[in-house]
Amino acid sequence: MRPWLILKVKGIEFEEELSVLDFATNNSHFLKFSPTKKVPVLKHNGLTVWDSLAIMEYVSELFPEKKLWPDDLKVRAHARSIAHEMHSGFMAIRNEYPMNMCRKPSAVSPSPAALIDINRIEKIWAECLDSYDGPYLFGDFTIAEAMFAPVVNRLQAYKVQCQHSSTRKYCDVITGLVAWKDWELAARKEPWVCENAEI
């Protein structure tokens, strides 16, 4: 979802190839195109780039004019800090709340560890929205948005109680994107179900 979303928002053309998750076979079919047996993977000019953040970094360098990161060095460092914090952390909410675009929203009580994750994410977002005046974390849409997009789905799908008033507003901005709606619509049309993501 993450590279897909930012490519769409920034108007960068690409061809999408969908491969269905199949945990019954441990997704062994992914090995045909992915060195990690995971998606997403980008194929470009004979090059294979894997991992969502690496893919977005690569696209950022290919299209500097699309401003996938903020221009200012210090602001960019801030954006990278939170993008990497997302990429390497928040294991409790990842484990407890699988991303699921088709889930009928209902509340699931968070564990103490998940609560710590949620509070930290809300604090990150509130600080950014206060500092850079929104509507996105760093003013314009950047890789930071894409990195946190799955969290937006989780807050919505599991009806998470949020503490900061800015959280709901930010989620509404993201879920209001045409690209978000397109992804959601496509997900809802999919017939496949990942049993391990049905909480």
Ligand X SMILES: N[C@@H](CCC(=O)N[C@@H](CS)C(=O)NCC(=O)O)C(=O)O
Query: Binding of ligand X at residue 37 (CB under 6 A)?
Result: yes
The residues pairing with 44 across neighbouring beta strands, listed in sequence order, are 47
Query: Binding of ligand X at residue 19 (CB under 6 A)?
Result: no
Nearest approach in angstroms of CB 142 to ligand X is: 16
Q: Are 155 and 171 in contact (CB under 8 A)?
A: yes
Nearer to ligand X, 99 or 129 (CB): 99
Nearest approach in angstroms of CB 162 to ligand X is: 24
Near ligand X by CB under 6 A: residue from 40, 70, 98, 110: 40
- Stretches 35-43, 104-112, 122-130, 168-176: which one binds ligand X (CB under 6 A)? 35-43
Nearer to ligand X, 51 or 85 (CB): 51
Nearer to ligand X, 41 or 129 (CB): 41
Nearest approach in angstroms of CB 183 to ligand X is: 13
CA distances from 34 to 41, 42, 51 (A): 6, 9, 10
User: Among residues 194, 132, 137, which one has the least CA distance to residue 169?
Assistant: 137
Nearest approach in angstroms of CB 49 to ligand X is: 10
The amino acid present at 162, given as its one-letter code, is C
User: Among residues 56, 144, 55, 158, which one has the least CA distance to residue 107?
Assistant: 158
- Stretches 33-41, 76-84, 117-125, 180-188: which one binds ligand X (CB under 6 A)? 33-41
**Nearby residues of 18 by Cβ (< 8 Å), 6 or more positions away:** none
Q: Are 15 and 24 in contact (CB under 8 A)?
A: no
Query: Binding of ligand X at residue 70 (CB under 6 A)?
Result: no
d(CA 63, CA 11): 11
DSSP 3-state of 118: helix
Near ligand X by CB under 6 A: residue from 6, 8, 52, 149: 52
Query: Binding of ligand X at residue 51 (CB under 6 A)?
Result: yes
Nearest approach in angstroms of CB 166 to ligand X is: 26
Near ligand X by CB under 6 A: residue from 12, 29, 33, 39: 39
User: Among residues 108, 115, 118, 89, which one has the least CA distance to residue 198?
Assistant: 108
User: Which residues sit at the interface with ligand X, rule CB under 6 A?
Assistant: 27, 37-40, 51-52
